[in-house]
Each structure stands twice: as C-alpha cells, then as structure tokens.
A and B are shown apart, each in its own frame.
Chain A
C-alpha cells in the first residue's frame, strides 16, 4: 500500500495545485494575524475563512483528482493488488497532501502568532475537515462515472454543509423559537461537521459569552475535555462513514 501512496503523492506534487493551496493558506493566515490586534481576533477571522475555503478546495480537488486518476486505477486493477488497497491509497494520498498543505499554511502561523489550546483546536479541526471533505468527494466520485456530474454532486455537498444547512438551522430556530431548543440545536450541530468544528473553536474564545442559553449549554458540554473529545470523535465518524461506504462501492463496481 505504501508504494501506491508514494505514486499517488508523486502525481499530486507534480500538479503544483497543492503548493499553490499552501501558499494561499499561508498568506491568508499571516495576513489575518497581522490585521487584527489580538491573536484571538486573528483566530476568529481565520476560523471563518478556513471553514469556508478548506472544505471547498478539499472537495473540488479530491473529486477532480479521482477522475483524473481513473487511468492509473485501471492500470492497477489488472495487477495483483486488492482494490480496497488501491482506493485507500488514493484517499490517504489526497488527504495527507491536503492536510500537509493545511498544517504548513495555517498550523505554522498559528504556532508563531498564538500558542494556545484554541490554536491547536483550530488546526485539528482543519485537518479533520480536510479528511471529511476528501471522503465526501470520493463518495461523490464513486457514485457516478460522469466527471461533470461527480463534480456537481461534490459542489452541492459543499453548498449544503457550508451554506444551506445553516439556513435551515436558523429557520428552525426562528420558527420554533417558543420551545426549548437547546438539545435540538446540539443534535443539529452534530449533523454538520463544519458547524461542529466551528463550535469546538468558538467555545474556547471569549466570544462564547455572547451566545446566550444555548451557548451556555454548549460551554458546559464542549468546555470539558470529554466534550471536546466527543466532538472530535464525531468528526472522526464523519470521515470514516463516507470513506467506508465509498470503499465498499468502489470494490463492488465494474471498471
């Protein structure tokens, strides 16, 4: 498996998109840390931008990479290699290279400008989000042979999790404002990895004081070590489920 990952990584490095992505993140984080007065403000603005761009770039890059590697995979399935191995090598190759870009682009500036638990959470969240959205991209890619359709599904997924979902949540909160919704919002947060990541970081910033009752509930849950561990556990599930199901589809379909 390591050998195949090696060739996947070589292919990705050659395309130079990952390098451009690293530079983009680096510029973004250094810029934001220098713009805001305190590192906390920097983290907050960085969080919002990271939660918008990292899923988008991960999902689009991974989908196009999958379709572009079709020939590579076709070449390998005629060899004595397990199909699952080929699939996991592709997944890990893409996820590792994008995470490495994120670690260099955001992780290094965070260490330089603000050493603290919040920064660590931000970096961890970003890495998890990368793995999750690469997994979703692969799920979109194995569900159809048509490249345009696959990228369309991937973009829709991003739209849903990054924008539409929050709209739905706001609508529900507004429509059912007369009822106690604290636990309902908790569940709704768990159903979207981007929101989950945002809550993990936000609750470690001072702004969480502004979030009212729900914020207080969140704080009591996510404020503890166990709460944060549970939240990261949920993020892990968000990555594992799409990986597992797309691997299953990939090993049972015709090539």
Chain B
C-alpha cells in the first residue's frame, strides 16, 4: 500500500535517513522500533509530506505522494507531541478539522470512549499531556482513514486509555487498514503488531514478522529477541 524507495534526508550535516527502501501492505500492523534519533519520526513525517525528502520516492497505491496533498485524506496521523493552538477549545479544534474535511466519513468512537465531550469547553493549552494525546488519537481515527501513522501513541496515556487505544488499533486492523506504530514498549508491540521494522542510524536493520524473529533468535519474548540481534550482530 505504501512503498518507500531509496529515501534520503539530512538536516544540514546530520544524515537522518540513508537509503531507506521498504514496502508496507494493507491489513497489517507494523511496529517501527529503534533507538532515539534513528529516523523513525522523520520517516513518518516524510510519508505525511511534513518533511520533504532530499532523494527518493514515496508511493501510495502506486502513485508518488511527493508534492501532493489529496492522498492525506487517507492517512490519520497521531504525532508524538501534539501541538495545538493554545487558545482554541477542544470542541473548536475538532469542529474545525471536521469543517475543513466536510465530505469524509466519520468515526467518532474514540471521542466517546475517551469522553472528550466532558472537556470540550477546555482550552487546548489547559489540557494535561495525556488528555492532549487523547485528542490527538481521536483526531487520527476520526475520518476512518485507510492508513494510520501513530507516533509513540501510548506514551503519556494512562493504562486504561492505552488499553482503549490498543483495542481500537486491533479493531481497525481487522477492517484491512495499514497501521504504522513507532514505540519503545516491546510488550505493547507484541500485543498489537505482527511485523517489526527496526531502524538504526537512518537505515533499516531488519524488517520481519515477530514470529520469525523469535524463531530465529530462539527467544520467547520480543524484547530479548531484539536485544539479541542488536547486540550480537546475528543478522540474517
């Protein structure tokens, strides 16, 4: 569904992405892992067109997305740190986005589950980090997109809210959507994802299914399996 070809990106002298090529199919939950600064967020922002790559191409359903914008109606994005106009109320933000995308189908399940209506009259600036994440999550799922890009979605959420989100992810996966999640919490990845894409220093270290990883390293926990590969050079 999304194909990335030879993607390069550098911020000044710092090379963030070096020749990344990967293809994601629909109906899958792919977890993107890797140490801080490995280029995970930059790659997701490239897919969204927020960061413009120096070289390479990104295709969605066979069509290049560079310099386009209509394709973004098919992507729901939950940023790592949601930034919102401080003096807008929660209701105003949600209504504004809905107003701008009038013809899209609506899935407001998360608004209900997170009971966002109760804080509709609060200003975005007055929200706690966790509640802001809930708004981000609700907005990402709001238009029933075919692709979901979730950047460390559960960081900052309380356990109940995180459970709700995981349930929602699994539900959307069954509908045949592609879901990309960057995360550091291995136990969570095991719960929702079936494939792991590991990035180190801007290039892909490995991309394979969790079952495959465990078999190859002969470990029964994902965190151990990943640690083994990262430390041991047990590359295929």
Kindly specify which of A71-79, A121-129, A133-141, A157-165 makes contact with the partner chain: A71-79
Q: Is B86 positioned at the interface, with any CB of A under 8 Å from its CB?
A: yes
Most buried by B among A3, A70, A80: A80
- Check if B72 is an interface residue, CB within 8 A of chain A: yes
Give the residues in chain A near B84, CB-CB below 8 Å.
Answer: 71, 75
B70 is an interface residue with CB less than 8 A from chain A: yes
B160 at the binding interface (Cβ < 8 Å)? no
* Complex interface: chain B residues within 8 A of A75 (CB): 83-85, 93, 97
- Alpha-carbon separation in the docked complex, A165 to B97 (Å): 45
Q: In whole angstroms, what is the CA distance A80 to B100 when docked?
A: 9
A100 to B19, CA, bound (A): 51
Question: Which residues of B are found within 8 Å of A78, using beta-carbon distances?
Answer: 48, 50, 72, 75, 77, 79
Q: Given the known A-B contacts A4-B100, A7-B96, A79-B100, are A69 and B72 also in contact in the complex, defined by CB atoms under 8 Å?
A: no
Q: Is B99 an interface residue (CB 8 A)?
A: yes
Provide the bound-state CA to CA distance between A79 and B77, in Å: 9
Is there an interface contact between A82 and B50, defined as CB atoms closer than 8 Å? no
**Range class of the A interface residue count:** 20 to 34
Flag whether B52 is at the interface (Cβ < 8 A): yes
A74 touches B72 (CB 8 A): no
**B209 contacts the other chain (CB 8 A):** no
Q: How many interface residues does B have (CB within 8 Å)?
A: 27
Asked if A80 and B72 make an inter-chain contact with CB atoms under 8 angstroms apart, the answer reads: yes
Which chain A positions have C-beta within 8 A of B45? 254
Chain A residues with CB below 8 A from B87, complex form = 11, 14
Among A4, A69, A252, A253, the residue within 8 A (CB) of B85 is: A69
Q: Between A and B, how many residue pairs show CB distances below 8 Å?
A: 56
- State in angstroms the CA–CA spacing of A253 and B12 once bound together: 13
Whether B85 lies near A254 (C-beta < 8 A) is no
Contact of B50 among A7, A69, A77 (CB under 8 A): A77
Asked if A74 meets B83 with Cβ closer than 8 Å, knowing A79-B72, A80-B69, A255-B51, the reply is yes
Q: Is B101 a contact of A79 with CB atoms below 8 Å?
A: yes
- With CB as the reference atom, state the residue of chain B lying closest to A4: B100
Pairwise interchain contact A79-B97, C-beta atoms closer than 8 A? yes
- Tell me the nearest residue of chain A to B96, going by C-beta: A7
B49 interface residue, CB < 8 Å from A? yes
Whole-angstrom distance from the CB of B6 to the nearest CB of chain A? 19
Out of B52, B69, B86, B93, name the residue touching A253 (CB < 8 Å). B52
- Residues of A near B71 (CB, < 8 A) are 80
9 A-B pairs (CB sep. < 8 Å): A11-B85, A11-B88, A71-B84, A71-B85, A74-B50, A75-B83, A80-B101, A254-B52, A255-B51
Binding site for A on B (CB under 8 A): 11, 45, 48-52, 69-73, 75, 77, 79, 83-88, 93, 96-97, 99-101
Q: A69-B85, A76-B100, A79-B101 are in contact. List 20 more A-B contacts (CB 8 A).
A: A3-B99, A3-B100, A7-B96, A11-B87, A11-B88, A14-B87, A71-B83, A71-B84, A75-B93, A75-B97, A77-B49, A78-B48, A78-B50, A78-B79, A80-B69, A80-B71, A80-B72, A253-B52, A254-B11, A254-B45
